[in-house]
Amino acid sequence: MPSPRLIVGLGNPGASYADHRHNLGFWFVDQLADELKITLTPQGKFHGSIGRYRELWLLEPSTYMNSSGRAVLALANFYKILPDEILIVHDDLDLQPGDIRLKHGGGHGGHNGLKDIQACLSTPDFWRLRLGIGHPGERSEVINYVLKAPRKEEQALIDRALDRCLLAWPQIAAGDYAAAQRVLHVRETEK
């Protein structure tokens, strides 16, 4: 598999959304930018904040979650980045806090950010780093749930998951997704 050339963290822009569960993608990209010692800078033509490390681009769309695809498509088209070279980092209701899954392709699972990216790229064949936030139990509560900060005990699990993502970063960066999955796909209870 090719190494990723574009890492996209999904979230909603602005301070009022910063600590929400829906912004886990932004949290990871911020931590990765710190690790790589790069700064994300707003770029209007790419509809988001971007940073570059060698041949790798980091992106946090400023389009709000439901229109994330516009930012991904703009940057991918400009730099001729193929879907296989894109890793989308996002929150996932179907995984418990602290659980992580790295996968290629598949459906959007009702995630509006993924849905828009698939529509804009005309393919689901990109990589996803799915970070668990748990489910509120009632479908009618989902919007309210994702637009709130995690509870203290959930935050601790999520923080450890983000640490594990950074630990797996060398394997992800090398395109060795199988090795990265061995680091990432460990349930918090197995540690």
Q: What is the pLDDT of residues 17-68, one digit of tens each?
A: 999 999 999 999 999 999 999 999 999 999 999 999 999 999 999 999 999 9
State the alpha helices, DSSP H only, in 122-176. Answer: 142-146, 152-167, 169-173
Active-site option among 22, 47, 90, 111: 22
- Kindly state whether residue 67 falls inside one of the protein's structural domains: yes
Nearest-5° angle of CA 122, CA 126, CA 130? Answer: 125
Q: Determine the Cα–Cα distance for residues 24 and 12; give it in Å rounded to an integer.
A: 10
The whole domain housing 109 covers: 6-190
Which pTM was predicted?
Answer: 0.96
pLDDT (0 to 100) of residue 186: 79
Residue 1: inside a domain, yes or no? no
Q: How many other C-beta atoms lie within 10 A of the C-beta of residue 163?
A: 11
3-state secondary structure of 111: coil
Distance CA 74, CA 68 (A): 10
Mean pLDDT across the chain, nearest whole number?
95
In this prediction, residue 188 has a pLDDT band, given cuts at 50, 70 and 90, of: low
Residue numbering of the annotated binding site for tRNA = 17, 64, 66, 112
Number of domains observed in the structure of the chain: 1
Rounded Cα gap, residues 191 and 43, in angstroms: 40
Query: Is 15 a member of any domain?
Result: yes
The stretch 114-132 carries a mean pLDDT of: 97
22 catalytic residue (yes or no):
yes
Kindly report the CATH number assigned to the domain that includes residue 51.
3.40.50.1470
165 domain residue, yes or no: yes
